[in-house]
Structure 1
Amino acid sequence: MLHTPLRRLRASTAVCLACASLAAATPALAADETPEWTVPVSLSLVSDYIFRGQTQTWGKPALQFSVEAVHTSGAYAGFFASNVADHWLPGAAVEMDFYGGYRGKIADTVGYDAGLIYYTYPGGNWTDSVFAGYNRSNSLNTLEAYLAVSYEWLTFKTGRQLTEYFGWSTNNSPTNGGFFGDSSAGVTGSTRGSHFFELNAAYDVAEGWNLSGQIGRQYISNTTGLNISYYKVGVTRALPDGWSAGAFFSASSEPKAYDSYYSLSDGTSKHDIAKEKFFVSIAKAF
C-alpha cells in the first residue's frame, strides 16, 4: 500500500488528537477520584478555653491548633494543642491531645464514632501545687474512651476515663481542705472510671450560619460535691477563604467546690472555675 505524505499527515494528526484527548481526559478522571486520605488542619483563637463547663485558662484567651488524618475507610487519628493555665492545672502551660478511632454509618442519617483520646500536659504534675501536703507526685495525663451516636444534626456522646481523672486523688483534692469553696467536697477514693454523658446539636439555620448547643454531665468517681452539669449554646458564621467566627454562652451547675478556687501556682489569686461565661472564637481552616 502506498503511503503518501498527505496520508502520513492525517495519520499523525489523528494520533496527536487522540493523545491530546486522552491527556485532557486523564486529569478530569483524577479530579473526580476521592483521595484515600484527607488531612484537615485548623488554627483558632478563643477568648476562653471552656472544657465541660470549666475554664482551662483561668478565664484568659487560648490559641489552639488541630490536625486530623481521615481515611476513606472511616479510620482517623488527630492531634490538638492549646495553652492552659497552671493556676488550675499545676505545672502545665500546654495541653496536647492525641486521639484516634473509627467513624461510620449505620444508615444514611445515623452514624457512630468510637475512639480513644489521651490528654497530656508536658511538665504538668501535682508536685507543682504550692499547697504543702497536697502535692504528692501524680501526673495530670488522662486516657479516655468515647462512643458517639449521631442522628442527622443530633449527637449523643459518652466516655469513660481509664486513668485517674486528671490526676485527682485523695492527696491533692481531698475533702476538708482540697476545695475552699466547699470544704465538704473532695475525692474519697480512686477517680479512675469517671465518666460523662452529653447531647450535642449542630444545625444549619441559613447558608453559612450554624446554631449549636450542648448539655452534659461529668461524674467523677469516688467524690462528693464535684460532679458537674454543663451547658453551651452558640452560633458560628462561615466566612470566605476558610475563616469562621463564633459566639457562645457557657454555663454549668456551678458546684460550690469550684467557687473562689485558689490558684495552684501562687496560692493567693482566686477564680470561679465553672461560672457562666460568654466567649468568642475566630478560626481558619486549611
Structure 2
Amino acid sequence: MHQFAKQFMTPLCLSLCGFAAQAQDAADKAAEAAAPLTANVSVVSQYISRGFRQSWGKPALQGGVDYAHPSGFSLGTWLSTVSDRYLENATVEWDVYGGYAGTLDNVGYNATLYYYKYPGAAYGPTAIKYDYGELSAGLSYKILYAKYNYTVSKDFFGIQGARGTGYLDIGANVDLGAGYTLNLHAGNGRVAGAGNAIWNWRDVKVGVAKVFDGGWTVAAAYTKAKGASNAYDAYTLGIPNASGALDISNPAAATVVFSLTKTF
C-alpha cells in the first residue's frame, strides 16, 4: 500500500479527539465549575476519532487530566490505547494541550494548541514520526458549535510538508432532559501539500450520552467517514494476522461505538 495510506489514518483527536471526550462534555463542564482540576477515565468499545477507527475495532482504555483556571486559561493531557495494526509500532496516543476560553452573552469562544505524540511509533525504514501539532479555534452559540483545527507543525501525522492541513468540525449538543444529551457532528478534513488531496475526507456522528450521579457517563454513537478517494477502503500496514494473511480493514466504515466514563 502507498506510504501515505499507511501514515494518514490516525487521530486528529482528543479535544477534537476522542469520542468519549465529546460524549461527556456536559459532565466535564459541571465538574470544572466545581473544581479547577478534574480527571477522567473511559472504557470504549473502540477508539474512533473524526470517523476513523484507531483501535482496529477493538476496545480501548482512555484517560486524562485537565486544569481550568478561573481566568479562562487551561492545560491538560489525555491518552488512549491504539492498535499497532493501525499505527506502526504504536500502542498509545498521548495528547498535551493548553488554551483559553471565554463567553460573551450566549457566544462562547476558545483557542487551544495541541500536540499529538505516539511514543515508539514510526513509519517505514526511514522511521518517519507520526507526531504533529495543531491550533484549534472555535465558537459556540447555545447548543451549536463550530471549530477549525490547523496543522502548525511541518508534517502532519507522517505526511511530510503538510503544514496547513485543516479540519472543520461543526455540530450541536442538544439537552434532551433527564441527563440525556444528543450529540450531532459533521467534519470536513483537507490535507495540505501537493498531491495530498486524495487523502481528504468527511465524517458524521450521531450519538446519545446519559450523565448519572457520581460522575458517570454512558454514551453510544453511530459514526462514519468517507474519503475523497478509495485510499481508505483496504488499509493495511502489511502485518500478517494469526492465520498468516495480511490484516486489512476499512477504518472509515460505518460503526457503532459505546463508552463508559468516570469523571473525578
Query: Does TM, normalized by the shorter one, top 0.5?
Result: yes
* Secondary structure in structure 2 of the residue aligned to 1:261: coil
Number of the residue aligned with 2:13: none
SS of alignment partner, residue 79 of structure 1: strand
Larger mean CA deviation between 260-269 and 209-218 belongs to 260-269
Q: Percent of aligned positions with the same letter in both sequences?
A: 33
Change (3 A) 1:269 1:205: same
Matched, 1:155 2:155: no
Q: Which residue of structure 1 aligns with residue 52 of structure 2? A: 54
Does residue 139 (structure 1) correspond to residue 139 (structure 2)? The answer is no
Distance, in Å, in 2 between the alignment partners of 1:54 and 1:191 is 19
Conserved in 2, the CA contact under 8 Å of 1:91 and 1:265?
no
Q: 2:259 corresponds to which residue?
A: 281
Equivalents in 2 of 1:269, 1:256: separation in Å?
Answer: 17
Query: Which whole-Å CA distance do the structure 1 matches of 2:34 and 2:224 have between them?
Result: 40
Q: Which amino acid aligns with 1:40?
A: T
TM-score normalised according to structure 2 size: 0.81
Contact 2:190 2:197 in 1 (8 A): no
Does structure 1 residue 253 correspond to structure 2 residue 226?
Answer: yes
Secondary structure of 2:231's counterpart equals helix
Is 1:166 paired with 2:157? yes
CA distance in 1, matches of 2:254, 2:180: 24
Instruction: Report which structure shows greater RCO (CA 8 Å, sep ≥6).
Output: 2
Q: Deviations along 1:43-97, whole A, 9 cap, x unmatched?
A: 0111111111111111111110011000000000000000001112111100000
Superposed CA deviations along residues 178-214 of structure 1, whole A, max 9, x for unmatched, are xxxxxxxxxxxx2221111110211111121100111
* Partner secondary structure for residue 225 of structure 1: helix
* Partner amino acid, structure 1, of 2:159: W
One-letter amino acid of the structure 2 residue matched with residue 239 of structure 1: F
Q: Please tell me whether residue 68 in structure 1 is matched to residue 66 in structure 2.
A: yes
Q: How far off is 1:137 after superposition?
A: 2.1
Deviation at 1:115, TM superposition (A): 1.3
User: Does structure 2 conserve the Cα–Cα contact (< 8 Å) formed by 1:90 and 1:265?
Assistant: no
Asked which structure has the greater CA Rg, the reply is 1
Q: Which amino acid aligns with 2:258?
A: V
Matched, 1:243 2:233: no
Q: Say which SS state the counterpart of residue 199 (structure 2) adopts.
A: coil
Q: Which residue of 2 aligns with 1:86?
A: 84
TM-score (norm 1): 0.75
Cα deviation, residue 263, structure 1: 2.8
RMSD between aligned residues: 1.8
Distance 1:279 1:53 in 2: 11
Which of residues 266, 269, 273 is equivalent to 2:247? 269
CA shift in 2, pair 1:87/1:264, >3 Å: farther
Q: Hey, what's the Cα distance between the residues in 1 that align with 2:143 and 2:120?
A: 39
Give the Cα–Cα distance (whole angstroms) in 1 for the partners of residues 38 and 137 of structure 2.
22
Q: Partners of 2:211 and 2:58 in 1: how far apart?
A: 24
Paired with 1:238 and 1:66, the residues of 2 have a C-alpha distance of: 18
Is the 1:86–1:264 Cα contact (8 Å) retained in structure 2? no
**Which runs of 4 or more aligned residues in structure 1 lie more than 6 Å from their structure 2 counterparts after TM superposition?**
34-37
For residue 240 of structure 1, report the CA deviation from its aligned partner. Answer: 2.3
Corresponding residue to 2:202 among 226, 229, 233: 229
Q: Distance in 2 between matches of 1:52 and 1:160?
A: 14
Asked if 1:199 corresponds to 2:189, the answer is no
